[in-house]
Amino acid sequence: MNAAAPAAPQPPAGSFVLAVEIALAIGYGVLAHLASARGSDLLALMALLVLVLLVLASPLAARRAGAWLALPLLAGGCWALYRAGHAPLPLLLVPVAFIGLVAWMFGRTLRPGRLPLITRLVTVLDDTPVEHLEPAVRRYARGVTLGWTLLLLVLGAVNLALAMIATPDGLLAQLGLQPPVAITRTQWSWFANLFNYGIIAAFFVAEFQLRKRRFPGRYPSFAGFLRRLGALGPAFWRDQLR
């Protein structure tokens, strides 16, 4: 009797969920921008629904009862906002909330007694206890953590300011106030839904190039560094929110 052929290896569930989250994040950005550029409440509703799926993707995949209960409630809330004509309003605050959350994730690790986020990342990537890291590496990693915190705080503040002065339905306009200067909703969207991520990507690449010069031979390939980051999996990053 012939032995059964071994089953083909299946991709890790965490990698699949991460791929879905990336696709949802891209989809949200495109829909949010189109909603603002076209003044479409329907596209704004679609963007909100994609955002709900993005936020709940991991707990839904883990079959958590709370996530499955929250899904229809949040979807119903999105529909209620759409019916009331306010579906575009949350889109103004999503970039501020997201960037603020990531800034907090970096910044809180700079408190006394905590391990800076980039330092922890180095210890995991190099499989080296923090006490065995070179002092120069530890100082640099802490400085990069501070740099990310400051960049994200500035971006969050700029996003909030632009959301306030966007017209005709920015935050100030929603309160019945006339902004001292104004930009169009499309101009706001270009920055909030596209330029934000370009600035973050540019900082990421520039910091890697600086690190290569500061510590030659430590990270020879940018593509290899990205693969090592991806191998950490979503669980590592979720741990930073705890």
pTM of the model: 0.81
Same domain? For 41 and 118 the reply is no
Based on the fold, state whether residues 103 and 181 are members of the same structural domain.
yes
Q: What's the domain count of the chain?
A: 2
Are residues 73 and 25 part of one domain?
yes
Tell whether 81 and 200 lie within a shared domain.
no
Instruction: Check: CB of residue 82 under 8 Å from CB of residue 41.
Output: yes
Domain assignment present for 4: no
| pLDDT tens column, 111-123 | 998 999 999 998 9
pLDDT tens by residue, 102-161: 999 999 999 998 999 999 998 988 888 888 889 999 999 999 999 999 999 999 999 999
Query: Do 81 and 99 share a structural domain?
Result: no
For residue 195, tell me if it sits in a domain: yes
Residue 6 lies in a domain: no
Same-domain status, 73 and 95 = no
Q: Same domain, yes or no, for 67 and 169?
A: no
Question: Based on the domain organization, do 74 and 108 belong to the same domain?
Answer: no
Are both 41 and 161 inside the same structural domain?
Answer: no
Structural domain span for residue 60: 12-86
Share of the chain above pLDDT 90, in %: 54
Complete DSSP assignment for the chain: -PPPPPPPPPPPHHHHHHHHHHHHHHHHHHHHHHHHHHT-HHHHHHHHHHHHHHHHHHHHHTT-HHHHHHHHHHHHHHHHHHHTT-THHHHHHHHHHHHHHHHHHHHGGGSTTSPPHHHHHHHHHHT--GGGS-HHHHHHHHHHHHHHHHHHHHHHHHHHHHHHHEETTSHHHHTT---SS-EEHHHHHIIIIIIHHHHHHHHHHHHHHHHHHHSTTTS--HHHHHHHHHHTHHHHHHHTT-
